[in-house]
Amino acid sequence: MADINLIIIGPPGAGKGTQAAFLCREQSIPHISTGDMFRLAVKNATLLGLAAKSYMDRGELVPDEVTIGIVRERLSEKDVAKGFLLDGFPRTAVQAAALEEVLFSLGREITLVINVVVPEAELIRRLTGRLVCRSCGATYHRVFNPSPGGEVCGICRGELYQRSDDSEETAISRLAVYQRQTAPLLDYYAASGKLRNIDGLKPIAEVTAELRTVLAAKGT
């Protein structure tokens, strides 16, 4: 069976993490995020890992050439022999083109790019629904996991509050940045014929079923 090399894309709040976990479990492939790659490279003290760490320690963005090198190192590991799922990389069309070159040098190519699509209004509802107990730190969601105590914590009866990074203003800003960065990337993969849009507004089980259908159509 041919290896299956996937990329998953989706805005904050789209449920991308849930579906990524399903894909990796179903296909028996590793879930590779940008953060995981950086941490592994730093832990192993590779030259590229140390270079990335120097930028991160200064609070700067890691340059594309360093990131691409770390991606090459990670995709050369034995555990990706049957495939992989990339999450959080590439973020730009430039990175996507560089990734293709890396994969070509390894005798591989991207199988599919999964884009989890959710309307902005729903994303904002999801992103702004989190509530945290000021006393014990328990986390709830107004829609998906409400507190049994109603307006107070169901565990300790403490006050529930919304973190500043969960505000509507922050959510709108995060989504605007995502759309600005990702639109060219989606165009890039749409042109290659590898992009598949998945309706993330459906219940989780239905989204998973749609993913199965897409993968089956690809012969995986």
Tell me which residue of 7, 215, 220, 213 sits closest to 110, measured CA to CA: 7
Residue 21 lies in a domain: yes
Taking only the tens place, the pLDDT of each residue in 166-187 is 999 999 999 999 999 888 999 9
CB 140 within 8 A of CB 160: yes
The residue range of the domain holding 63 is 4-119+182-217
pLDDT bucket at 99, cuts 50 / 70 / 90: very high
Quote the pLDDT of residue 181.
86
The catalytic residue positions are 16, 91, 130, 163, 174
What's the total number of domains in the chain?
1
Bridging pattern class, strands 130-133 and 160-161: antiparallel
Residue 11 lies in a domain: yes
Compute the 3-state secondary structure of the chain and give helix, strand, coil in percent, each to the nearest 5. 50, 15, 35
The pTM assigned to this predicted structure is 0.86
Taking only the tens place, the pLDDT of each residue in 18-43 is 899 999 999 999 999 888 888 888 88
Residue 142 lies in a domain: no
CB 29 within 8 A of CB 79: no
Quote the pLDDT of residue 220.
64
Residue 159 lies in a domain: no
Residue 146 lies in a domain: no
Residue 130 lies in a domain: no
* CB burial of residue 135 (10 Å; 0-12, 13-18, 19+): middle
Percent of the chain with pLDDT over 70: 98
Whether 2 has a pLDDT exceeding 80, the answer reads: no
CATH number of the domain bearing residue 201: 3.40.50.300
pLDDT bucket at 57, cuts 50 / 70 / 90: confident
Whether 152 has a pLDDT exceeding 60, the answer reads: yes
Residue 134 lies in a domain: no
Residue 135 lies in a domain: no
